[in-house]
Chains A and B, each alone.
Chain A
Amino acid sequence: MLRWLKSPATETQVTHGQRLWLYAISVLIMTLLVIPTLIVVPMSFSHSQYLEFPPETWSTRWYGHYFGSSEWMQATTTSFKAAVLTMLVATPTGVLAAYGLHTSRIRFVRVTFVLMITPMMVPLVLVAIGAFYAYVQMGILYTITGLVLAHTVLALPLVVIVTGAALKGYDMSQEQAARSLGAPRWKAFLTVTLPQIRFAVVTSALLAFLTSFDEVVVAMFISGGDNPTLTRNMFNALRDQIDPTIASISTIMILVTTLMMVLAQLFGQQKKPSK
């Protein structure tokens, strides 16, 4: 231990002992980063009205409350439907766009790329009230269709950026080789390029799912009626009181997110195509 403290930690020969303050602060910050979210999990299993930690009596009362409420169940269904559909629409649309922008080197490409990432830059509130107005005109307010379209627009920049980055690191001459051997472009893309950028595509798809599943502000305006999202209902509940049911829903949402990330990692492990 003492030897470790005196051993150099950096190229400039600062020892570990001299950097103990940095280690202490960092561990503290990392704890503060993780704990607030994770502490909700045990709290959700408390029997009490008031969220306690550690819970005095454990129970699944609030989960019962959640699964027993038709309102929460309806909102959960809407959220999952919207997230899956957003994933299914945003991924192919975004991958096509990224591929199109990458291969066609015409003048508008830069401008189009900026257009593609505008949904990331425009304040969400503005997107929300704009979509609200447009949907009233189009008659798709409070529909899943409307929700999916808006969430797709929010997810597109992520898909285009992640897939675009993968395409930049991919050697296009492989696709050209396939084409010179007679494969049409679409076939060359599907059988040669796509398998090699598939980690990026899967990551984009999961990001699109999460974008929709976690989105609050836009959903606040354009979801409702028969199709409120989970986040919309949660947000409204938060404004009123601290309902322990929210802790159980939060736990479930953490679980969904973690699952998505583990999936992304699993796909990331097999970097080389198995063929």
Chain B
Amino acid sequence: MNQDGLRLDERLERLKLFGLASPAILLILVILVVPVGWLFYVSFVGADGSYSLENYERMWKRRSYARIFRTTFEVSFLTTGLCILIGYPLAYFIAGLPGRLANLCLITVLLPFWTSLLVRTYAWLVLLQKRGLVNEWAISLGLWDEPIKIVHNMTGNLIGMVHIMLPFLILPVYGAMRAINQDYMKAAANLGASPRRAFWTVFFPLTLPGLFAGSLMVFILCLGFFVTPAVLGGGKVIMVSMKIVSNIELFVNWGAASALGVVLLVLTVAILWVASRFLNLENMTAGGGH
């Protein structure tokens, strides 16, 4: 009797504690979940107001949509790939430094991480423009003869996006590298592995979870990216999120915009779901939140 009472008390207590999360839950439901649910519904309503799949059919039939999806994936893959190529060696370099020096170098990763995305995009716009510093310096160094167009196109967009995404890759990779016990490398060398072999068979596999988490984060952020391609792409790089915005701002077509949004969301969730089968996603958020 007494035991049952205690158990009931404990359950009530736990429910009460859970209730502490209710303001946050309510906010997310009202501001995010319900409206997105409504968009989901709108995507299945046709121009005449009845249930229809026309918003989705349009994506299949119109070639302009196919191009937009192709561009989105192209940009996301290229950005992720470049981030790995550039970020991994830097993370490796910093992880090998003694504590104080490593922290100093980490600041160069964190500083852009904290700086407003818009400010960084603007900075690249200024640097890459026709009369900008990059052109000016390249010409004075003799790299090319006259100003070339490196912004308002795919090149400019990629430069900006890689710069913005790099910290998201470097931080989790760096975390994974720091966690590696150096004795493993010593043991590998001791057992006769060449430095190269020790790196590829011992060190590199141990950094894979971090690399995977970082790449995933970068890829997913790229899929939904808007600001940088809108400014640095100069209308030549049209990604899904930009089409969603123009569907609303220019054509006031909620059905079309919602359908695109739903596809984008489903893609994102599907990728995260597949990834979560190989990886503990809480690690990823911890890496990104540093």
Using CB atoms and an 8 Å cutoff, list the residues of chain A in contact with chain B. 9-14, 22-23, 25-26, 29-30, 32-34, 36-37, 39-40, 43, 50-51, 53, 93-94, 96-97, 99-101, 103-106, 108-109, 112, 115-127, 129-134, 149-150, 152-153, 156-158, 160-162, 165, 210, 213-214, 216-217, 220-221, 231, 234-235, 238-239, 242, 246-247, 250, 253-254, 257-258, 260-261
Contact = CB atoms under 8 A, between A and B. Distances in A.
A78 B214 CA distance: 34
A242 B163 CA distance: 20
Given A33-B163, A122-B268, A250-B116, 18 more contacts: A22-B89, A22-B92, A29-B89, A33-B112, A34-B112, A37-B120, A40-B122, A51-B132, A93-B24, A96-B23, A97-B21, A106-B18, A115-B25, A117-B285, A127-B36, A129-B248, A165-B289, A210-B114
A43 B132 CA distance: 12
9 contacts: A14-B195, A26-B94, A51-B132, A118-B32, A123-B265, A125-B264, A133-B35, A152-B27, A152-B31
Identify whether the interface residues of A are mostly helix, strand, loop, or mixed.
helix
A149 B110 CA distance: 28
Contact of A29 (B33, B36, B90, B244): B90
A112 B120 CA distance: 34
Contacts of B34: 134
Contacts of B110: 261
A49 B118 CA distance: 21
Contact of A37 (B115, B133, B258): B115
Given A22-B89, A26-B93, A51-B126, A161 B244 contact: no
A250 B120 CA distance: 9
Contact of B220 (A121, A129, A153): A121
Interface stretch (B44-52, B57-65, B226-234): B226-234
A162 B31 contact: no
3 smallest A-B Cβ distances: which pairs?
A123-B224, A130-B35, A100-B20
A242 B226 contact: no
Given A11-B182, A108-B18, A134-B31, A261 B199 contact: no
Interface in B217-244: 220, 223-224, 226-227, 230-231, 241, 244
A40 B132 CA distance: 12
Contacts of A238: 118, 121-122, 125, 231
Contacts of A216: 117-118, 226-227
B108 A104 contact: no
Contacts of B119: 37, 40, 250, 253-254
B36 A130 contact: yes
B176 interface: no
A214 B109 CA distance: 18
B126 A34 contact: no
B32 A125 contact: no
A131 B114 contact: no
